[in-house]
A = this chain, B = another copy of it.
């Protein structure tokens, strides 16, 4: 088994945090996306989608998509549960994680890919060129992320963690989203006191350093 990772990219970090919370050790190989290594021949042969993270199973099966990789590990090692316990809880965790993706880390992604000079002409992950940035989409992403933080602040007024009483994958997604937003000079606003309390707690977990 091998996890194709890049320490500086946000989505691989989601998987590393997930593995750290589970206490699972997986051999890793670095794919330096800042040097466009995801488009190098050696990696394209393994992952033609040109994205990280990717998990290679022992039978050669390749799994891309961070949450799909997490799903694999949740199934092989259910404890501690990070994607829910019974049917209703699994659905609730999935709901919060998807909100955190669509409105949180996804909105940050829109801001980043359409705003940072390093993504000029490649505003969609996995495509090496020919996708011009859309400045209006960067602005829309920034506004959406601020709305999302306000939503999360209301949520965290009632709930210790994003999806309820237990730390889950949804906390990882929101946490990495907030850290990624710093790359486009966005911070949690001061009025989001519940988010700030929760962020400090998550940042203190050993998995945050993964």
Contact B65 A90 (CB under 8 A): no
Alpha-carbon gap, A134 to B57, bound state (A)? 41
User: How many copies of this chain does the complex contain?
Assistant: 2
Render A80-94 as a binary contact track against B, CB cut-off 8 A, 1 for contact.
000000111011101
Which residues of A, 92-148, contact B by the 8 Å Cβ criterion?
92, 94-95, 98-99, 123-124, 131-132, 134, 136-137, 140, 144
Contact count band on A = 20 to 34
Contact A98 B131 (CB under 8 A): no
Point out the residue from B61, B63, B88 that lies within 8 Å of A61, measured CB to CB: B88
Question: What residues of B have a CB within 8 angstroms of the CB of A92 in the complex?
Answer: 61, 63, 68
**Complex A-B, nearest 4 residue pairs according to Cβ-Cβ distance, in ascending order:** A75-B87, A72-B91, A68-B94, A68-B95
